[in-house]
Structure 1
Amino acid sequence: MLRSVDAVDAVTASDLDRPTPCAGWTLADLLAHMTVQHRGFAAAARGRGADESAWDVTTVADAVHADPAGTYAAAARAVLDAFAADGIAEATFALPEFGPNATFPGTLAIGFHLVDYAVHGWDVAAALGASYELPDDVIAAVLPLVMAIPDGDFRDSAVSPFDRAVNASAATDFDKVLLYLGRRPDWRRTSHP
């Protein structure tokens, strides 16, 4: 997650209208999503995840526009602090984005969040035309979580968090992650010089 903070730290207000690998989202949209997800997962870790206002992206949009890096870093610190609590792996996380009354064990919920931030950090870097490197142990932890996510027709739905897997050669394990989640590792070079 700290690598995503580093990636966002390079964002300025003039970058917020840039397109991202997330179809239809500008960098401002992506950062608002990432920020509110940190806040929502922090609330879930503290037993307040069922409160849908914790997941309302409109509550962070103005702050992201005013101070993209600072707003994001504060939300990342909040979720890291929440995840550091004793017994968090055994806690029950309410995650309403998965459906009414959806709950998950802490370990699984934290895994969901890890996948999101490994990939969204790359999305930010790609939008900026910057490089993005994750430690090998993080990639090794993320890859099996990603490969357990089903692929299929439901990924064509507007509510699906991922596009269909891309059938292409992967040079690295992180490329496999990106491709399986519907991204193209060469997005910045082929789509946006």
Structure 2
Amino acid sequence: MPVDQVGTLALQRALTQAADLLDAVTPEDLSRPTPCSEWDVRRLANHLIAQPRVFVTMLQGAPPGWNGHEDYDTALGDELRSRGNTLINLWRETTGETMLDPDWQAVEIAVHTWDLARALGRTTDGLDQSVAQRALVAMDRILGPTRKGRAFADARSAPAGSDAYTHLAAYAGREV
């Protein structure tokens, strides 16, 4: 598929919002639980920071190396911004057809941004709701509501009146 520049912009916005939220993480927050039952904030933050590296590797045509270990406990937002900029610049340089989708990458970042906000006791009211709306459409298009993988569980319903991030989290199988 040709590179979707609007999807690239949504991914950039998702990365920026996640980095801004990571800026708020304190050392005391690192051991907090997250909606990802096996992860604390530290592990979730490091997963978010690793994603641009994984996506760059994939976009360059190499195996993703999902099992790489990241372990940052300071300057989390700065690290994600740096890696995110590399990813966005690579997307901007990509021409022609690719099997990858910046919207799918935005799904990953947006869902984990909700996870992080929840773990920190913050709302998602101040986030760009259009990023989550686009991610929800992409998730439905790519995965559908029934899932057998580990990353996302079967879709759930969000309470009436929920914001787009809560709807995305529920669709990703999170308890909202």
Q: TM-score, normalised by structure 2?
A: 0.77
Shift of 1:140: 3.3
Structure 1: give runs of 5+ residues left out of the alignment.
Answer: 93-104, 186-193
The structure 1 segments of at least 4 consecutive aligned residues displaced by more than 6 Å after TM superposition are none
Shift of 1:91: 4.5
| Kept after mapping to 2: 8 A contact 1:27/1:127 | yes
Question: Matches of 1:72 and 1:168 in 2, distance apart?
Answer: 29
Question: Matches of 1:57 and 1:168 in 2, distance apart?
Answer: 33
Q: Percent identity?
A: 25
After superposition, residues 166-181 of structure 1 pair within 5 angstroms as 166-171=156-161, 172-181=163-172
Q: Give secondary structure in 2 for the equivalent of 1:122.
A: helix
After superposition, the Cα gap between the structure-2 partners of 1:44 and 1:19, relative to the gap in structure 1 and judged at 3 Å, is same
Shift of 1:136: 4.0
Structure 2: give runs of 5+ residues left out of the alignment.
Answer: 1-13
Looking at both structures, which has the greater relative contact order when contacts are Cα pairs under 8 Å and sequence separation is at least 6? 2
After superposition, residues 55-134 of structure 1 pair within 5 angstroms as 55-58=66-69, 60-61=70-71, 64-87=72-95, 90-92=96-98, 105-106=99-100, 109-132=101-124, 133-134=126-127
| Kept after mapping to 1: 8 A contact 2:146/2:154 | yes
Q: Give secondary structure in 2 for the equivalent of 1:145.
A: helix
Q: TM-score, normalised by structure 1?
A: 0.71
What is aligned with 1:22?
A: 36
Q: Between Structure 1 and Structure 2, whose CA radius of gyration is higher?
A: 1
What is aligned with 1:50?
A: 63
| Kept after mapping to 2: 8 A contact 1:17/1:27 | yes
Q: Does 1:163 align with 2:153?
A: yes
